[in-house]
Protein backbone atom coordinates (compact mmCIF):
# COMPACT_ATOMS: atom_id res chain seq x y z
CA UNK A 1 0.00 0.00 0.00
CA UNK A 2 1.14 3.54 -0.76
CA UNK A 3 2.27 5.57 2.25
CA UNK A 4 0.15 8.72 2.16
CA UNK A 5 1.73 12.10 2.88
CA UNK A 6 0.72 15.68 3.59
CA UNK A 7 0.97 16.39 -0.15
CA UNK A 8 -1.77 13.83 -0.83
CA UNK A 9 -4.03 15.55 1.67
CA UNK A 10 -3.23 18.97 0.21
CA UNK A 11 -4.19 17.65 -3.23
CA UNK A 12 -7.48 16.41 -1.78
CA UNK A 13 -8.09 19.82 -0.25
CA UNK A 14 -7.72 21.40 -3.69
CA UNK A 15 -10.26 18.96 -5.15
CA UNK A 16 -12.95 19.63 -2.58
CA UNK A 17 -12.41 23.28 -1.66
CA UNK A 18 -15.17 24.68 -3.88
CA UNK A 19 -17.68 21.97 -3.01
CA UNK A 20 -17.60 21.55 0.76
CA UNK A 21 -17.92 23.88 3.71
CA UNK A 22 -14.97 25.28 5.63
CA UNK A 23 -16.47 24.54 9.01
CA UNK A 24 -15.87 26.88 11.94
CA UNK A 25 -13.89 26.43 15.13
CA UNK A 26 -16.05 26.98 18.22
CA UNK A 27 -15.21 27.18 21.91
CA UNK A 28 -16.70 27.76 25.36
CA UNK A 29 -14.97 30.04 27.87
CA UNK A 30 -17.11 28.51 30.61
CA UNK A 31 -15.86 25.02 29.76
CA UNK A 32 -12.26 26.27 29.75
CA UNK A 33 -12.72 27.70 33.22
CA UNK A 34 -14.45 24.63 34.65
CA UNK A 35 -11.74 22.24 33.51
CA UNK A 36 -8.83 24.43 34.60
CA UNK A 37 -9.50 24.62 38.34
CA UNK A 38 -6.62 22.35 39.33
CA UNK A 39 -3.84 24.05 37.36
CA UNK A 40 -2.05 27.38 37.28
CA UNK A 41 -3.53 28.78 34.10
CA UNK A 42 -6.36 27.88 31.73
CA UNK A 43 -6.83 24.96 29.37
CA UNK A 44 -8.14 25.99 25.96
CA UNK A 45 -10.60 23.77 24.09
CA UNK A 46 -11.31 24.24 20.40
CA UNK A 47 -13.96 22.27 18.55
CA UNK A 48 -13.94 21.71 14.79
CA UNK A 49 -17.65 21.82 13.97
CA UNK A 50 -17.94 19.16 11.29
CA UNK A 51 -21.53 18.68 12.41
CA UNK A 52 -22.11 21.80 10.27
CA UNK A 53 -20.49 20.17 7.23
CA UNK A 54 -22.45 19.17 4.12
CA UNK A 55 -24.67 16.17 5.08
CA UNK A 56 -23.90 16.99 8.73
CA UNK A 57 -20.64 15.07 9.03
CA UNK A 58 -16.96 15.04 8.04
CA UNK A 59 -17.59 11.94 5.89
CA UNK A 60 -18.60 14.17 2.97
CA UNK A 61 -14.95 15.10 2.56
CA UNK A 62 -13.73 11.58 1.82
CA UNK A 63 -16.72 10.69 -0.34
CA UNK A 64 -16.40 13.74 -2.58
CA UNK A 65 -12.63 13.52 -2.86
CA UNK A 66 -12.81 9.90 -3.97
CA UNK A 67 -15.27 10.56 -6.79
CA UNK A 68 -13.47 13.77 -7.80
CA UNK A 69 -10.18 11.85 -8.01
CA UNK A 70 -11.82 9.14 -10.11
CA UNK A 71 -13.23 11.75 -12.49
CA UNK A 72 -9.88 13.55 -12.63
CA UNK A 73 -8.32 10.28 -13.78
CA UNK A 74 -11.10 9.45 -16.28
CA UNK A 75 -12.23 6.53 -14.10
CA UNK A 76 -15.55 7.82 -12.76
CA UNK A 77 -17.92 4.81 -12.62
CA UNK A 78 -21.62 4.88 -13.48
CA UNK A 79 -22.55 3.10 -10.26
CA UNK A 80 -21.06 3.28 -6.75
CA UNK A 81 -21.87 1.12 -3.76
CA UNK A 82 -21.17 1.58 -0.07
CA UNK A 83 -22.10 0.02 3.26
CA UNK A 84 -22.50 2.17 6.36
CA UNK A 85 -24.36 2.73 9.60
CA UNK A 86 -25.14 6.29 8.61
CA UNK A 87 -22.86 9.22 7.83
CA UNK A 88 -20.78 7.54 5.13
CA UNK A 89 -24.05 6.37 3.57
CA UNK A 90 -25.40 9.91 3.36
CA UNK A 91 -22.06 11.23 2.13
CA UNK A 92 -21.77 8.71 -0.70
CA UNK A 93 -25.38 9.31 -1.73
CA UNK A 94 -24.78 13.06 -1.78
CA UNK A 95 -21.45 12.80 -3.61
CA UNK A 96 -22.88 10.46 -6.24
CA UNK A 97 -25.67 12.94 -6.86
CA UNK A 98 -23.10 15.71 -7.42
CA UNK A 99 -21.47 13.64 -10.14
CA UNK A 100 -24.75 12.37 -11.61
CA UNK A 101 -24.10 8.67 -11.01
CA UNK A 102 -26.11 5.88 -9.41
CA UNK A 103 -25.53 4.95 -5.76
CA UNK A 104 -26.62 1.84 -3.87
CA UNK A 105 -26.17 1.98 -0.12
CA UNK A 106 -26.36 -1.07 2.17
CA UNK A 107 -27.29 -0.28 5.78
CA UNK A 108 -27.97 -2.47 8.84
CA UNK A 109 -31.65 -2.47 9.79
CA UNK A 110 -30.99 -0.97 13.23
CA UNK A 111 -29.56 2.15 11.59
CA UNK A 112 -30.94 5.57 12.54
CA UNK A 113 -34.16 6.17 10.61
CA UNK A 114 -33.12 9.77 10.07
CA UNK A 115 -29.86 8.69 8.43
CA UNK A 116 -31.56 6.06 6.26
CA UNK A 117 -34.19 8.51 5.03
CA UNK A 118 -31.66 11.25 4.47
CA UNK A 119 -29.56 8.85 2.40
CA UNK A 120 -32.53 7.99 0.22
CA UNK A 121 -33.41 11.68 -0.16
CA UNK A 122 -30.19 12.23 -2.12
CA UNK A 123 -31.43 9.75 -4.70
CA UNK A 124 -29.59 6.63 -3.60
CA UNK A 125 -31.12 3.18 -3.48
CA UNK A 126 -31.07 2.16 0.19
CA UNK A 127 -31.13 -1.54 1.07
CA UNK A 128 -31.60 -2.43 4.75
CA UNK A 129 -29.82 -5.60 5.82
CA UNK A 130 -30.04 -7.89 8.82
CA UNK A 131 -26.77 -6.61 10.28
CA UNK A 132 -23.53 -4.86 9.36
CA UNK A 133 -21.87 -8.11 8.30
CA UNK A 134 -24.67 -8.78 5.80
CA UNK A 135 -24.49 -5.21 4.48
CA UNK A 136 -20.76 -5.57 3.93
CA UNK A 137 -21.20 -8.92 2.15
CA UNK A 138 -23.94 -7.62 -0.16
CA UNK A 139 -21.85 -4.57 -1.03
CA UNK A 140 -19.06 -6.93 -2.03
CA UNK A 141 -21.47 -8.86 -4.25
CA UNK A 142 -22.53 -5.67 -6.05
CA UNK A 143 -18.89 -4.69 -6.49
CA UNK A 144 -18.21 -8.09 -8.05
CA UNK A 145 -20.99 -7.34 -10.52
CA UNK A 146 -19.33 -4.11 -11.63
CA UNK A 147 -20.24 -1.36 -9.16
CA UNK A 148 -17.37 0.66 -7.66
CA UNK A 149 -17.12 0.01 -3.92
CA UNK A 150 -16.18 3.00 -1.76
CA UNK A 151 -15.43 1.81 1.80
CA UNK A 152 -15.97 4.21 4.68
CA UNK A 153 -12.28 4.08 5.62
CA UNK A 154 -10.26 1.48 3.71
CA UNK A 155 -9.43 3.63 0.67
CA UNK A 156 -6.55 6.05 0.14
CA UNK A 157 -8.69 8.83 -1.32
CA UNK A 158 -11.24 8.53 1.47
CA UNK A 159 -8.45 8.88 4.05
CA UNK A 160 -7.01 11.89 2.21
CA UNK A 161 -10.43 13.52 2.10
CA UNK A 162 -10.90 13.01 5.82
CA UNK A 163 -7.42 14.40 6.41
CA UNK A 164 -8.48 17.73 4.93
CA UNK A 165 -10.46 18.31 8.11
CA UNK A 166 -7.23 18.46 10.15
CA UNK A 167 -5.40 20.43 7.47
CA UNK A 168 -8.15 23.01 7.67
CA UNK A 169 -8.24 22.92 11.48
CA UNK A 170 -4.56 23.62 11.89
CA UNK A 171 -4.72 26.56 9.47
CA UNK A 172 -7.56 28.01 11.54
CA UNK A 173 -6.08 27.19 14.95
CA UNK A 174 -2.34 26.38 14.89
CA UNK A 175 -0.04 25.47 17.77
CA UNK A 176 -2.32 23.01 19.54
CA UNK A 177 -0.84 20.55 22.02
CA UNK A 178 -3.20 17.63 21.49
CA UNK A 179 -5.93 16.48 19.12
CA UNK A 180 -8.74 14.04 19.89
CA UNK A 181 -10.93 12.44 17.21
CA UNK A 182 -13.45 9.58 17.23
CA UNK A 183 -12.26 6.27 15.79
CA UNK A 184 -14.53 3.82 14.01
CA UNK A 185 -12.84 2.32 10.98
CA UNK A 186 -9.96 4.75 11.42
CA UNK A 187 -10.23 6.90 8.29
CA UNK A 188 -10.55 10.22 10.09
CA UNK A 189 -7.87 9.27 12.60
CA UNK A 190 -5.52 8.14 9.81
CA UNK A 191 -5.95 11.38 7.88
CA UNK A 192 -5.55 13.35 11.10
CA UNK A 193 -2.28 11.74 12.14
CA UNK A 194 -0.80 12.09 8.64
CA UNK A 195 -1.62 15.82 8.48
CA UNK A 196 -0.92 16.74 12.09
CA UNK A 197 2.41 14.95 12.48
CA UNK A 198 3.65 16.37 9.16
CA UNK A 199 2.73 19.91 10.16
CA UNK A 200 4.02 19.60 13.73
CA UNK A 201 5.49 16.30 14.98
CA UNK A 202 5.12 17.48 18.58
CA UNK A 203 1.31 17.47 18.43
CA UNK A 204 -0.18 14.51 20.28
CA UNK A 205 -2.92 12.73 18.33
CA UNK A 206 -5.39 10.46 20.11
CA UNK A 207 -8.20 8.34 18.77
CA UNK A 208 -11.26 7.68 20.93
CA UNK A 209 -13.56 4.66 21.08
CA UNK A 210 -16.39 3.58 23.38
CA UNK A 211 -15.38 0.73 25.69
CA UNK A 212 -18.15 -1.28 24.01
CA UNK A 213 -16.48 -0.85 20.62
CA UNK A 214 -12.78 -1.08 21.42
CA UNK A 215 -11.51 -3.01 18.39
CA UNK A 216 -8.91 -0.37 17.44
CA UNK A 217 -7.57 -0.14 21.00
CA UNK A 218 -7.37 -3.93 21.20
CA UNK A 219 -5.63 -4.05 17.83
CA UNK A 220 -2.99 -1.53 18.92
CA UNK A 221 -2.48 -3.37 22.22
CA UNK A 222 -2.09 -6.82 20.63
CA UNK A 223 -0.25 -5.78 17.48
CA UNK A 224 -2.80 -7.45 15.21
CA UNK A 225 -6.22 -6.49 13.93
CA UNK A 226 -9.03 -7.53 16.26
CA UNK A 227 -12.46 -7.94 14.65
CA UNK A 228 -15.60 -7.72 16.75
CA UNK A 229 -18.03 -10.62 16.34
CA UNK A 230 -21.03 -8.33 15.85
CA UNK A 231 -21.96 -4.68 15.62
CA UNK A 232 -21.10 -3.16 19.02
CA UNK A 233 -23.80 -1.99 21.40
CA UNK A 234 -23.02 1.70 21.78
CA UNK A 235 -25.01 4.90 21.53
CA UNK A 236 -22.19 6.27 19.37
CA UNK A 237 -23.54 4.85 16.11
CA UNK A 238 -20.85 6.57 14.07
CA UNK A 239 -18.24 4.13 15.41
CA UNK A 240 -20.19 0.85 15.26
CA UNK A 241 -17.59 -0.70 13.00
CA UNK A 242 -16.41 -4.30 13.30
CA UNK A 243 -12.72 -3.68 12.66
CA UNK A 244 -10.11 -1.33 11.33
CA UNK A 245 -8.35 -2.29 8.09
CA UNK A 246 -4.72 -3.12 7.39
CA UNK A 247 -4.54 0.24 5.65
CA UNK A 248 -5.76 2.29 8.61
CA UNK A 249 -3.96 0.07 11.15
CA UNK A 250 -0.64 1.27 9.79
CA UNK A 251 -1.54 4.90 10.45
CA UNK A 252 -3.19 4.27 13.81
CA UNK A 253 0.13 2.87 15.05
CA UNK A 254 1.54 6.39 14.53
CA UNK A 255 -0.92 7.96 16.97
CA UNK A 256 -0.24 8.62 20.64
CA UNK A 257 -2.86 6.10 21.65
CA UNK A 258 -6.52 5.13 21.58
CA UNK A 259 -8.54 6.34 24.57
CA UNK A 260 -11.66 4.50 25.78
CA UNK A 261 -14.77 6.12 27.23
CA UNK A 262 -17.93 4.67 28.74
CA UNK A 263 -21.49 5.00 27.48
CA UNK A 264 -22.24 7.19 30.50
CA UNK A 265 -19.37 9.53 29.62
CA UNK A 266 -20.54 9.75 26.00
CA UNK A 267 -24.06 10.67 27.09
CA UNK A 268 -22.84 13.11 29.75
CA UNK A 269 -20.71 15.05 27.28
CA UNK A 270 -23.37 14.96 24.56
CA UNK A 271 -25.61 16.76 27.06
CA UNK A 272 -22.98 19.28 28.15
CA UNK A 273 -21.56 20.11 24.72
CA UNK A 274 -25.02 20.57 23.24
CA UNK A 275 -25.71 23.10 25.98
CA UNK A 276 -22.34 24.86 26.11
CA UNK A 277 -21.69 25.11 22.37
CA UNK A 278 -25.33 25.62 21.34
CA UNK A 279 -24.92 23.01 18.62
CA UNK A 280 -26.67 19.77 17.75
CA UNK A 281 -24.20 16.89 17.97
CA UNK A 282 -24.48 13.13 17.81
CA UNK A 283 -22.99 11.06 20.66
CA UNK A 284 -19.97 10.09 18.55
CA UNK A 285 -18.96 13.76 18.63
CA UNK A 286 -18.86 13.70 22.43
CA UNK A 287 -16.29 10.90 22.63
CA UNK A 288 -13.25 13.21 22.15
CA UNK A 289 -14.32 15.48 25.00
CA UNK A 290 -14.67 12.56 27.42
CA UNK A 291 -11.19 11.34 26.45
CA UNK A 292 -9.66 14.81 26.66
CA UNK A 293 -11.00 15.13 30.20
CA UNK A 294 -9.22 11.91 31.16
CA UNK A 295 -5.95 13.08 29.60
CA UNK A 296 -6.08 16.51 31.19
CA UNK A 297 -6.31 14.95 34.64
CA UNK A 298 -2.67 13.93 34.14
CA UNK A 299 -1.46 17.33 32.88
CA UNK A 300 0.05 19.92 35.22
CA UNK A 301 0.37 22.75 32.69
CA UNK A 302 -2.29 24.52 30.57
CA UNK A 303 -2.99 22.67 27.34
CA UNK A 304 -4.43 23.79 24.02
CA UNK A 305 -6.69 20.97 22.84
CA UNK A 306 -8.47 20.45 19.50
CA UNK A 307 -11.48 18.14 19.28
CA UNK A 308 -13.49 17.11 16.23
CA UNK A 309 -17.28 17.27 16.43
CA UNK A 310 -17.58 14.58 13.79
CA UNK A 311 -21.31 14.81 13.08
CA UNK A 312 -24.69 16.17 14.08
CA UNK A 313 -27.10 13.57 12.72
CA UNK A 314 -28.92 12.34 15.81
CA UNK A 315 -32.31 10.68 15.49
CA UNK A 316 -35.26 10.78 17.87
CA UNK A 317 -34.45 7.46 19.57
CA UNK A 318 -30.85 8.44 20.33
CA UNK A 319 -31.92 11.90 21.43
CA UNK A 320 -34.39 10.36 23.88
CA UNK A 321 -31.72 8.00 25.20
CA UNK A 322 -29.35 10.92 25.77
CA UNK A 323 -31.78 13.25 27.46
CA UNK A 324 -33.69 10.67 29.51
CA UNK A 325 -30.64 10.28 31.76
CA UNK A 326 -30.13 12.98 34.37
CA UNK A 327 -26.33 12.97 34.55
CA UNK A 328 -25.82 16.73 34.69
CA UNK A 329 -27.96 17.82 37.66
CA UNK A 330 -25.75 19.14 40.43
CA UNK A 331 -22.53 18.56 38.49
CA UNK A 332 -20.24 20.83 36.54
CA UNK A 333 -17.61 19.10 34.42
CA UNK A 334 -14.81 18.19 36.81
CA UNK A 335 -11.45 16.54 36.42
CA UNK A 336 -11.64 14.86 39.80
CA UNK A 337 -15.29 14.31 40.60
CA UNK A 338 -16.95 12.55 37.72
CA UNK A 339 -20.67 12.01 38.37
CA UNK A 340 -21.44 8.49 39.53
CA UNK A 341 -25.16 8.50 38.77
Percentage of the residues of the chain whose pLDDT score is greater than 90? 82
- The alpha carbon dihedral of 114, 119, 122, 125 has a sign of negative
Supply the CATH classification number for the domain 59-149.
Answer: 3.40.50.1100
Give the pLDDT confidence of 94-137 residue by residue, as tens digits: 999 999 999 999 998 888 787 889 999 999 999 999 988 899 99
pLDDT at 335: 46
Contact 49, 25 (CB under 8 A): yes
**What is the longest distance spanned by two Cα atoms in the chain?**
62
Kindly report the number of other CB atoms within 10 A of residue 278's CB atom.
Answer: 9
Domain residue spans of the chain: 6-56+156-323, 59-149
Give the pLDDT confidence of 136-174 residue by residue, as tens digits: 999 999 999 999 999 999 999 999 999 999 999 999 999
Give dist(CA 238, CA 152) in Å, integer: 11
pLDDT of residue 336 exceeding 50, the answer is no
Torsion of CA 234, 26, 290, 198, to 10 degrees: 100
80 burial type by CB count under 10 A (0-12 exposed, 13-18 middle, 19+ buried): buried
Give the pLDDT confidence of 10-38 residue by residue, as tens digits: 999 999 999 999 999 999 999 999 999 87
Name residues whose C-beta falls within 8 Å of residue 272's C-beta, 6 or more positions apart in sequence: 31, 289, 328, 333
Candidate CATH numbers 1.20.1440.130, 3.20.20.100, 3.40.50.300, 3.40.50.1100; the one for domain 6-56+156-323: 3.40.50.1100
pLDDT of residue 196 exceeding 50, the answer is yes
Rounded mean pLDDT of the chain?
A: 94
Torsion of CA 240, 242, 247, 249, to 10 degrees: 90
Angstrom distances, CA of residue 249 to CA of 190, 232, 252, 272, 283:
8, 19, 5, 32, 24
Listed residue (28, 27, 94, 82) closest to 57, CA to CA: 94
Q: Against a cut of 0.85, is the pTM above it?
A: yes
Give dist(CA 116, CA 119) in Å, integer: 5
Amino acid sequence: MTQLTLVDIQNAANRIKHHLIQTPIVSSSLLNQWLSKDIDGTHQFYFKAENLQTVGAFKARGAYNTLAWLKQNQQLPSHVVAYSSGNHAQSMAWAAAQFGIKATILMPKEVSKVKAQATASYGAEVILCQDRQTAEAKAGELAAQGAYLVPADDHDKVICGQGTCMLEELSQCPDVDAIFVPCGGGGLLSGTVIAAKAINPKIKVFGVEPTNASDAAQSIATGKIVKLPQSPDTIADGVRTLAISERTFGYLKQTDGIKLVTEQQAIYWTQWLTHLLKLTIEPTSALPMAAAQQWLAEQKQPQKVMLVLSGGNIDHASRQQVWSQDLISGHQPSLRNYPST
